[in-house]
Structure 1
Amino acid sequence: MRRVCRCCLLLAVALTAILARPLHAQDAPVLRVTASAPAEGQTGATIKLQLEVMTSTWFTQPPQLPKLDLPGVTVTPPSGHGELVRDEQNGQSLNGLRYTYLLSVESAGALHIPALSVTAQLGPAGAPVTAESAPLTLQIKGAARLGNVVGDLSVTQSFTLTPDPLVQGGRITRSVTQRADGVQPMLLPPAPLGDVPHFKRYPREPEVVTLTDGRGGFVGAQRIDQADYVAQESGSFALPPLTLHWTDARSGSPKNQTLPGRQVDVAAAQTAPPPFSLQADLAALRHGLRWAIPGWAMPAVIGLAAAGLALWLGRAYWQRLARALGAVARRARTRWLVSEPRYWRAWQREAHAAPAVLSDCYRWIRRSSGAAALRDAVAPLAQDERQFVESTLRHAYGMNAAKTAWRAPLASRSRVWRRAWRKRPAAVHALPKSLNPLHHEAPPRTGDADAPHR
């Protein structure tokens, strides 16, 4: 009985240990990140860097892949689609995804790839777990060859004539297709479709696509270059052959392939007769009775309509502008009416007109000198000027006032006075002396300021 109990106890302990192992493994899910790439590569070739992200449970969200930046290397990140992989580690089943980075190295030497850190959310808890791969070192060999593809390249071409046979003005389309396995699309150079004598070249946009295996896996690239050659003249002409160069990815030796040209015969273009008579149609439509509108009529009508629309839309502005211009004109006229040149012209006309009066002369004197009387105006001038004024006043208001010989000398002498008065500084105020309260002299009596003393 004791032996049976002892055996049952040992069996229970063994079952507990066996059941505890998967429970412990389930509590701590495993995340493994592994990076792998060829140990050696060729400059200009495309190297596949595969990153495997595996777990013992499952992913609740897609893994967060790192961004890879390497100096002197063109890196194409994964497209987002991973390849399903399975493995076993220490008796534990792992499953996950394999992602591919595409590397194009430009120079030879050692290429160091750092550790790549990946974060993933694992079930059943969905807690984020981070793991990283081991760093890698690749050896890149060979010298860089600009414009050359490194890989397995296949080249084909085709010709299409429109029309066939070709005539002057028709076109021949030359298409060159490059297909390379393990090469990124950006590394395929354009085909040398250059100009050809007797043809006008019209290049088309290249068609560049990435070749996949149907499941998101990278296979290679394909590039199609096309150009239309339009025949400019008739005759027999040849399109030259084309040579494309690349480098073998395995041996590193240069290779090339020459595409043959083509001899084409271009016939002269025939002038096709019109399908109908234009003159007959115009005659049937009574074109001769129609009015011919000159070419300038339509632009003129459009211009007038636009100007009328602008005037109508801006009528408020134009009205304000007209009022402002009218106010400016009125102010200018007012300034002219009270200006010295205007009084001067009036006095000059009066000096040669009948009757012999001094009305405009006194107005001009008042405006130019500020004095109301002729004697006061010439008082600051020289003695001979004052004597001339006395003599003129005696002739104008004396016994022989009917004579007008004194007007011409007065008009001539007033020019001298005008120059003298213009040189005087302007008064600090606009009031004449007769109205200035600060002036202590008695104002002269009106009407006898220039009368001769009797």
Structure 2
Amino acid sequence: MTAVFVRLLLIVTWLGSASAAAFADPAPQTRVRAHLEPAGPVVAGSEVKLVVDLLTTTWFTEAPNWPLFTVADAIVSLPDEQADNLSEEIDGVHWFGVSRAYRIAPQAGKTYDIAPFAITVYPGGTNTPVQVMTPALKLVTTLPPGAQGMTSFFPTSGLTATQKIEPPKQQLRVGDSITRTITQSAAGTESMLIPPVSLGEVDGLKRYARPSTTRNIVRDRVGLVAGERTDSVTYIADHNGRFKLPPVTIEWWNTATQKRETIVLPGVTFSAAAAHEKPLFDIPVDAMSQGFPHRIIVIHSRQLIAGFAIVLGLIGVVWARVRIATFLRRMRMGASEVHKRYLEGDAVAWRRLCAIARQGDWRRTIPALYRWMDRTRDFGHPARLASIPRADDAGVAELVEAVTAHYAGTAAPDLRWEDAETALRQAGKRTRLQREEMCPLPPLNNY
């Protein structure tokens, strides 16, 4: 009885599993479609759309990874546009999906083979991304009569091109850089369709291409006015000599006149002089190729010598700072001592005596007179009036009489200070001469 029950239980379990599997959601399906618009032959330079549809039977949990592929002799881009949602029934199955359009601008008249490329999608109902391959396509383009042999077929109603050379000077040094920038502007044409100009290698110059820039000029109520493309390359002279950037020829097809047009930008000649200095370091090639801002640093010999001299001077100042401080302190003390001796000297005392005596105040004049006599040391120390030689000098005699009368309390005789001043000067001079005669220089030592 127990064995029968176990068998019945196993049968019920198997039937339940089979029923659940029968009613479970099927695995999501995916498919990809691609076609060209327009499908038939087109004129080279025209814009062709490659429309790609991605479909699934469930939904997409993430946006597909849209890759950017390349086609020889053509410009391929993926505009930053919102993808279109799809919902349709195919063979009784409901499909959901998204659609985007690549832009292809063929530049030659031939048959283009557009190879399949992979796109990764993320369908709902599974945790594993799925990779789908687009179908192979062919694009046939033709050239209008007269356009055969053009390097790059570019149709537009109007094209202008300008050239800029930086720096504008034509005399450079070895290691300096010169940048050539060419800007094209095409009327009524998107910038992505403008072909790049050829800025090739130049003998004796290192070439660093910068990323090109494009922009569309759009106006309100008018729409697209023109497209603009800028190509730039930097050259660096690695040795002295004379160099020439060759002329640049731009061919384009005038859709208004149905004729081939040519724009020629002139070449540029410049020379690079040898430099005695070398750059501190070479600029990395990847930095130049990506258009990063750069600067070539060169140190001249005079600047190097001056820099070393400044550094040595600073080191010397730091090393001898104690000695320098001591020297400056002694200088200040010496200057203070000299200034003090000057203030205590006979010159200052004489000017003060003359200033007081001209005022006629004998109470101040006599102390000033004795102060001057003490500081000159010509009349003894302490100085006395009797030490002043008065022979044949009326001015000195009158001065002595006036001082004596002042101390005696009697009326002092009239005294003209100008005469006394002259007499005092002459008396001091005579006293110094007499002292020098009495004390001649000692004889030289004989060895």
TM-score (norm 1): 0.34
TM-score (norm 2): 0.34
